[in-house]
Amino acid sequence: MILTGPEITQAAHDGRLTINPFKADQVNPNSYNVRLGPTLLTYTAPVIDAHQPNPTQAVEIGADGYVLQPGELYLGHTLERVGSDLFVPLLFGRSSVGRLGLFVEITAPIGDIGFLGQWTLMLSPIRPLKVYAGMKIGQIMFFVSTGTIDRYRGKYQSAAGPQPSRYWRDAALIQAVAS
C-alpha cells in the first residue's frame, strides 16, 4: 500500500515520517518532491576501487548553477532530511528531470525503515546539463510495511550532504570472514 499525498502530509505532521523542511507545495498525489542540495561530490581517482576508500572532490553549486558533464558520476544530496520508522521510502528521479537527460538514483531507490538523513543522489547526465541547488530533482513515495520492523542502523545513518560509497567496509568484512 502506498501513501497518498494527503496521508503523506498527515504523517509528516503527526511524526510518523520526517520531511524537514516540509513544504505543502511539494506534495504530489502519491509522493513528495525533494530538492537538490548545494553540494556535489565527484570521485577523483582514474579508477574507482570497490575494496578501498576513494578520494572525492566537493563542488558547491553556485547561484548561477553548475554544469554536469556526460561520462561523470556526481553524488548529490537532497536538501530535505527524510525518513520514517514505519514506512518504506522509495526515491525516484522526477520525469521532467529525466526528460532533460539526467538519470537520478537508478540503482538504489529503496530506503530502509529507520533511516533519517539527507539522501545521496547518484546523478548521471547524458549531455551537458546545468543544475541548480534547490531544484526539484526527485520524488519519494512511502509504502506501508508488514511484519516485524528492524530499524536501519547502518553506515549512512544521519547523513548530511552527499556520501561516497563505503562499500569497501563491507568488502573488508567479507575478506576477513573468508580468511
Q: Which residues contact 70 (CB under 8 A, 6 or more apart)?
A: 125, 126, 127, 128
Give the CATH number, domain containing residue 112: 2.70.40.10
Q: What is the pLDDT of residue 27?
A: 98
Lowest mean pLDDT among 66-70, 102-106, 171-175: 171-175
Q: Domain total for the chain?
A: 1
Average pLDDT over residues 98-103: 96
Q: Which three cell numbers stand for residue 158?
A: 544521519
Per the CB < 8 A criterion, the answer to whether 33 and 80 are in contact is no
Which residue range forms the structural domain that includes residue 161?
Answer: 5-46+53-178
Q: What is the pLDDT of residue 174?
A: 60
Q: What is the pLDDT of residue 106?
A: 73
Q: Is the pLDDT reported for residue 176 higher than 70?
A: no
Q: Which three cell numbers stand for residue 42?
A: 565527484
**Mean predicted lDDT score pLDDT of the chain:** 93
Rounded Cα–Cα distance for residues 136 and 123 (Å):
13
Q: What is the pLDDT of residue 136?
A: 98
Q: Record the pTM.
A: 0.91
Q: What is the pLDDT of residue 177?
A: 59
- DSSP, collapsed to helix, strand or coil, labels residue 41 as strand
Between the CA atoms of 22, 23, 26 and 32, what dihedral angle is there, to the nearest 10 degrees? 20
Helix (H) or strand (E) holding 24: none
Per the CB < 8 A criterion, the answer to whether 58 and 120 are in contact is no
